[in-house]
Amino acid sequence: MPVEKNVMFAAAIAAVLLFIIIAAAPAFCEDGSPRLVLPKTVIDLGFSFQGEKTKLMGEFIIRNDGTAPLNIKEIRPSCGCTVVEPESKVVHPGSETTVTVSVDTSDKLGKLKKSVFIKTDDPGMPDAKVDVLIEVRMKDHTTMNPGQTLFKGNCAECHAKPAEGKSGEPLFEAACAMCHGHYGLGGLNAPGINDLGWLDKNDSSYIKKAITKGKPGTSMPGFGAPHGGPLDDSQIDSLVELIQWWKEGFVFKTNEERHGRINRH
């Protein structure tokens, strides 16, 4: 009898285990569908200097954790300067494919974000996106010497000639925005000056002196003509007036009618 009981007990255990396996099988096998997995949804391609390396490149992975082949129906960038090339548009179960991304940095400046849009036959996530980060920096200038090299030779094409005949906001955008950012909101090589805290600390005389004579020990040269710069007194005064106007808490000035005033208070 003890032997028979042991046999019956073992049979019962085996039946229970078989039931568990059968019941759990659908969970493991699912319904034969693909499953898209993106290990990274943001990739950083790093930086280049303006006018040098014209392309930044990187890659990301598309993985299939499902039980059926994953078909990439469409993969496209957010703009024409970005190119995406998947290694394969069919990803088998348990496998992955590498997507190469390249961004043309020509005529770009600053920190930028591009996107790659992906459409697949994954019923749970048919649409996905990977963001691509890049940065294009201006070349750092050496500390200015009395000869004001920034306004001579090839450098003058960017730092002197665009200022000719301009004043106020157009002048700032032509000569100052490349360092201080558009409308003074902050750039790559210099602080933002359309900032209420900065403006409260610095009056008109300080601003005029900084524009005219520059700031020793920094990459800010003297823009005044007596110091080798391209600006006359009236142009400098127009910049001081513009920057002081920002104290009112508005971003735009001459084109306020077109854009509407933007109050930052």
pLDDT number for residue 39: 96
Same domain? 117 vs 212: no
Let me know if residue 90 belongs to a domain.
yes
Q: Are 190 and 200 in contact (CB under 8 A)?
A: no
Last residue of a domain, one of 71, 104, 137: 137
Q: What is the pLDDT of residues 245-260, one digit of tens each?
A: 887 766 654 434 333 3
Is 66 in the same domain as 114?
yes
pLDDT higher than 50, residue 144: no
Q: Which amino acid is at 117?
A: F
Residue that wins the pLDDT comparison between 4 and 60: 60
194 in a structural domain: yes
Domain boundary among 117, 137, 157: 137
| Beta-carbon count within 10 A of 148 CB | 20
Q: What is the pLDDT of residues 6-65, one digit of tens each?
A: 556 556 665 655 555 545 444 333 468 999 999 999 999 998 887 776 889 999 999 999
Same domain for 119 and 72:
yes
What does the angle CA 194 – CA 111 – CA 207 come to, to the nearest 5 degrees? 25
What pLDDT is attached to residue 4?
59
Decide which of 178 and 46 is more confident. 46
Q: Strands 42-49 and 36-37: what pairing? A: unpaired
Q: Within this chain, do residues 92 and 54 fall inside the same structural domain, yes or no?
A: yes
Q: What percent of the chain has pLDDT over 90?
A: 41
Check whether 223 has a pLDDT greater than 80: yes
Q: For 207-218, b where at least 16 C-beta lie within 10 A, e where not — what string? A: bbbbbbbbeeee
Q: Is residue 221 part of a domain?
A: yes
95 and 173 co-located in one domain = no
Q: Is 84:128 a contact under the CB 8 Å cutoff?
A: no
Does residue 205 sit within a domain? yes
Q: Is 251 contained in some domain?
A: yes
Does one domain contain both 238 and 159? yes
Q: Provide mean pLDDT across the span 132-152.
A: 66
Which tokens is 40 given?
């990274």
Q: What is the pLDDT of residue 143?
A: 46
113 shares a domain with 197: no
Same domain flag for 111 and 89 = yes
Half-sphere exposure of 212 (CA within 13 A, CB side): 15
Look at residue 76 in the predicted model and tell me its pLDDT.
94
| Per-residue confidence (pLDDT) for residue 147, from 0 to 100 | 44
14 assigned to some structural domain: no
The residue among 76 and 154 whose pLDDT is bigger is 76
52 or 149: which leads in pLDDT: 52
Q: Which residue has the higher pLDDT, 163 or 65?
A: 65
Domain closes at, from 103, 137, 171: 137
Q: What tens digit of pLDDT does each residue of 84-94 get?
A: 999 999 999 99
143 vs 85, residue with greater confidence: 85
CATH number of the domain at 237, please.
1.10.760.10
Domain count, the chain: 2
Per-residue confidence (pLDDT) for residue 220, from 0 to 100? 82
pTM of the model: 0.48
State the residue range of the domain holding 123: 36-137
Are residues 201 and 233 both part of a single domain? yes
- In this prediction, residues 162-183 reach a mean pLDDT of 86
The CATH number of whichever domain residue 103 belongs to comes to: 2.60.40.10
Q: What is the pLDDT of residue 26?
A: 42
Residues 155, 131, single domain; the answer is no
> Is 105 contained in some domain?
yes
Q: Are residues 167 and 220 in the same domain?
A: yes
Same domain, 160 and 254: yes
Assigned domain for 64 exists? yes
- The answer on pLDDT for 203 being more than 50 is yes
Predicted local confidence at residue 120, as pLDDT: 97
